[in-house]
Amino acid sequence: MVKSLKQIGNSYGVIIEKPILELLDITPETPLEISTDGHSLNIRPLHKRTLAEAKLHIRKNLGKAMEKLAK
């Protein structure tokens, strides 16, 4: 998909179509993290996690490191 910037007041924005927003579960209230590596722009939603979801995420992604730290 190729997009171009649209002027919004004194700023510029990119319009994201509804199917993409729905796919990523993004609403106007969803905070977005915007970052760059110096070559590209990355935008991702920051969904609030429940405590159980956060624990699962930590266990899945950091479980081995946490086990090593505990020793």
Alpha carbon distances (Å) from 11 to 14, 39, 58 = 11, 20, 37
> What pLDDT score does 56 carry?
83
* pLDDT for the residue 6: 96
pLDDT of residue 8: 94
Domains and CATH numbers, the chain: 6-70 (2.10.260)
pLDDT tens for the chain, residues 1 to 71: 899 999 999 999 999 999 999 998 899 988 999 999 999 999 998 877 777 877 887 888 888 888 888 88
Q: Are 45 and 22 in contact (CB under 8 A)?
A: no
pTM for this prediction: 0.57
Q: What is the pLDDT of residue 4?
A: 95
SS3 8: strand
